[in-house]
């Protein structure tokens, strides 16, 4: 059985102190009711070390939201995969549409980031997903396939085992407009078939594919009940312990 995952993506929210409070809040709720899925908190770089110290590692894993496409050296302001790993974080989110859209992260850049993350022992939550325009032109399948081929299908099957896919339709992110569970399931099944074509059925069956985009407690259960949806990547609803816990509870 593949891993079920609920991962928060705080984005550029929370001061350090607020972030510690939030992590503590989630940890307290999970201490009372142990989660039936892997729970991950994706935080800004500066929070990583403290959040790792704040949470019980058996209940919560910690993720960065980005890392550099260079190993080390004269890249002022960048944070390397090795630095992320040294905080105790175990995951890194790569390929988020906000990184692709606002910071010009191309397939090639993401390919470098993924390789460096894996080389440094991090697991990668790799985001893919189409824009509204692409969905309206019925190009969503071609878009997600190209994103996989462009940045992660160069990996060996053994490397690919450390990749979690997050399907996030851009039109659903932060808009309150969720993909229907049928719409999401259809493309998740397609993504799994593309992985099967590349790496074989066993690898595809073992790959966790998360849904992201206005996922909240009220729709998580229906989404997560679909056979090819293995959890969620949660933005807005990960910023309050109770809201995030409400989504984790979908697996109870």
Q: Which residues are catalytic?
A: 96, 168
Residues 6+ apart with CB under 8 A from 171: 130, 131, 132, 135, 177, 213
Residues 6+ apart with CB under 8 A from 197: none
Would you state the structure tokens that stand for residue 246, as one six-digit string?
């409400």
State how far the Cα of 251 lies from the Cα of 237, in Å rounded to an integer. Answer: 16
Q: Which is nearer to ligand PGA, 40 or 79 (CB)?
A: 40
CB of 78 to ligand PGA, least distance (A): 22
Q: Tell me if 52 contacts ligand PGA by CB under 6 A.
A: no
Would you state the structure tokens that stand for residue 8, as one six-digit string?
């928060």
Q: Tell me if 95 contacts ligand PGA by CB under 6 A.
A: no
CB of 42 to ligand PGA, least distance (A): 8
Contact between residue 7 and residue 40 where contact means Cβ atoms under 8 Å apart: yes
Q: Which is nearer to ligand PGA, 112 or 243 (CB)?
A: 243
Q: Which is nearer to ligand PGA, 44 or 236 (CB)?
A: 236
Q: Which is nearer to ligand PGA, 87 or 214 (CB)?
A: 214
Of the candidate residues 26, 117, 210, 215, the single one contacting ligand PGA (CB under 6 A): 215
Residues 6+ apart with CB under 8 A from 207: 2, 160, 163, 164, 165, 192, 195
Would you state the structure tokens that stand for residue 137, as one six-digit string?
């032109």
Q: Tell me if 9 contacts ligand PGA by CB under 6 A.
A: yes
CB of 215 to ligand PGA, least distance (A): 5
Angle 99-207-152 from CA coordinates, rounded to 5°: 45
Q: Tell me if 44 contacts ligand PGA by CB under 6 A.
A: no
Q: Tell me if 174 contacts ligand PGA by CB under 6 A.
A: yes
Residues binding ligand PGA (CB under 6 A): 9, 168, 173-174, 212-215, 233-237
């Amino acid at each position: 059985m593949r891993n079920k995952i609920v991962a928060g993506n705080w984005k550029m929210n929370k001061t350090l102190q607020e972030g510690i409070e939030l992590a503590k809040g989630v940890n307290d709720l999970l201490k009372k009711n142990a989660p039936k899925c892997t729970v991950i908190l994706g935080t800004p770089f500066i929070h990583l070390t403290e959040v790792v110290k704040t949470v019980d590692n058996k209940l919560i894993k910690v993720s960065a939201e980005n890392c550099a496409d260079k190993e080390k050296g004269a890249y002022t302001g960048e944070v390397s995969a090795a630095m992320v790993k040294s905080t105790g974080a175990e995951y890194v989110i790569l390929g988020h549409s906000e990184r692709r859209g606002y910071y010009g992260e191309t397939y090639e850049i993401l390919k470098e980031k993924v390789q460096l993350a894996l080389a440094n022992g991090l697991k990668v939550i790799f985001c893919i997903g189409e824009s509204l325009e692409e969905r309206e032109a019925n190009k969503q399948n071609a878009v997600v396939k190209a994103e996989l081929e462009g940045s992660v299908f160069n990996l060996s099957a053994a490397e690919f085992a450390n990749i979690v896919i997050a399907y996030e339709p851009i039109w659903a992110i932060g808009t309150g407009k969720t993909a229907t569970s049928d719409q999401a399931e259809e493309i998740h099944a397609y993504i799994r078939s593309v992985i099967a074509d590349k790496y074989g059925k066993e690898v595809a069956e073992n790959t966790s594919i998360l849904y992201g985009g206005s996922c909240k407690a009220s729709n998580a259960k229906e989404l997560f009940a679909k056979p090819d949806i293995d959890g969620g990547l949660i933005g807005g609803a990960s910023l309050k312990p109770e809201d995030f816990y409400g989504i984790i509870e979908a697996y109870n």
